[in-house]
Amino acid sequence: MKDTGETRIIVSALKCLGGTLIALGAATQVAQAQDNWEWRVAPYLWATSLQGRVATVPGVPPADVDASFSDILDNLDFAGMVVGHGRNGRWGITGDLQYVKLTAESGSLAPTFGKAVVKIENTIVSLMADYELAQAPNYEVWVSGGLRYWRVKNDISLTPGTAPGRTANGADSWVDPIIGVRGRREIGERSFVTGWAYVGGFGAGSENMADVFGGVGYQFTPTTAGVLGYRWMTVDRQNGSFLYDATQQGVLAGLSFQF
């Protein structure tokens, strides 16, 4: 078989998926033995900004995008985000879903073009197997490994400069292996700090990616909590004419429901 970039991506993704399935299989065996799953679901809002370079097709220069959250909010079409955790003993699973559809404008592309209007549709789905590395009455630390699926669709409109205006669109999807840690520590009777740090890509899908969050929370009831913090995420993906080298960061707020 010809060793293409797509083949390497698929092989790497399958290896990571195999490891994830093995870990999930072990978690399932534990679940069958204990039959005591606990679940936590947390819808959240991420007030993110977007900076980076985006390109789609040959002949259209990369667009430098620098949009604050207020800029994005003014042009936001739709956003939906939710994270979930399941645990049984020292094993667990984590899932994270993000869908964002937004519009951003680049700076000047003079003299060839005026500016670029970039419409971006992002879908990010993560699935990881977790293992509890350390636990005490007031804290817990988990290590995680799994996959993150990305689909990015870009529509770019270039306003006229010395060249006439033009439009282009393109999309790309890929799978990144992802590893990291997450944890929680009580700091009061009802208050706590929580966070995660994940890295991935490693040239399998994107060249690299990172996802870091830290925040404080308050336990309103035994099964309901609120969290407020800051999230920073970056990814660098280039596939032929497609370029998505972008950083998102901003305040994140969510509610957690345990059952």
In CATH, the number for domain 5-258 is: 2.40.160.20
Higher pLDDT, 107 or 15: 107
Q: Are 212 and 233 in contact (CB under 8 A)?
A: yes
Q: Are 72 and 104 in contact (CB under 8 A)?
A: yes
Higher pLDDT, 30 or 254: 254
Rounded to whole angstroms, how far apart are CA atoms 131 and 70? Answer: 38
Residue from 138, 199, 193, 147 nearest 173 by CA: 147
Classify residue 45 by burial, with Cβ atoms within 10 Å: 0-12, 13-18, 19+: middle
Give the domain ranges of the chain: 5-258
**pTM attached to this predicted model:** 0.77
Percent of the chain with pLDDT over 70: 79
Amino acid at 250: G
Higher pLDDT, 9 or 249: 249
Judged by average pLDDT, the poorest of 26-35, 65-74, 132-141, 154-163 is 26-35
Q: Are 36 and 92 in contact (CB under 8 A)?
A: no
pLDDT value at residue 184: 96
pLDDT value at residue 100: 84
pLDDT value at residue 20: 47
Residue found by looking up tokens 């995680």 in the block: 144
Q: Is the pLDDT of residue 4 over 60?
A: no
What residues contact 94, with CB distance under 8 A and at least 6 apart? Answer: 83, 84, 85, 86, 126, 127, 128, 130, 144, 146, 182
pLDDT value at residue 33: 46
Q: What are the beta bridge partners of residue 258?
A: 40
Higher pLDDT, 59 or 197: 197
